[in-house]
Structure 1
Amino acid sequence: MEQVSTFLTQKIDLLIISPNDATPLTGVVKKAYGQGIPVLVLDRKVDGDGDTSFIGADNVDIGRQAGQFFKAHLLPQGGKIVQLKGLAGSTPAKERADGFAEGIAGSGITIVGSADADWLRDEAQQQADALLKAHRTRRRSSPRTPRWQKARGSPRRTRARRRCRSSASRGGPCRRAASKPWRRSGCPPR
Structure 2
Amino acid sequence: MSNKLLLVVLIILMGIASTHVAALVRPVVSANKIAQQQITLITGDVAIFDISQTQSIAHARLNDPTSTFIAYVKNAQTYLIPNHTQSLIKQGRVNVELFNLSKLVSLKLDDRNSNYLPVLVKYSVPQQRLTAGIDSQFYPAINTQFIRLDKSKLTQTWLQISNDPTIKSVTLDKQITHH
TM-score, scaled relative to structure 1:
0.23
Give 1 or 2: higher helix fraction. Answer: 1
Give 1 or 2: higher strand fraction. Answer: 2
Q: Which has the higher contact order (CA 8 A, sep 6+)?
A: 2
Determine which structure has more spread, i.e. the larger CA radius of gyration.
Answer: 1
TM-score, scaled relative to structure 2:
0.24
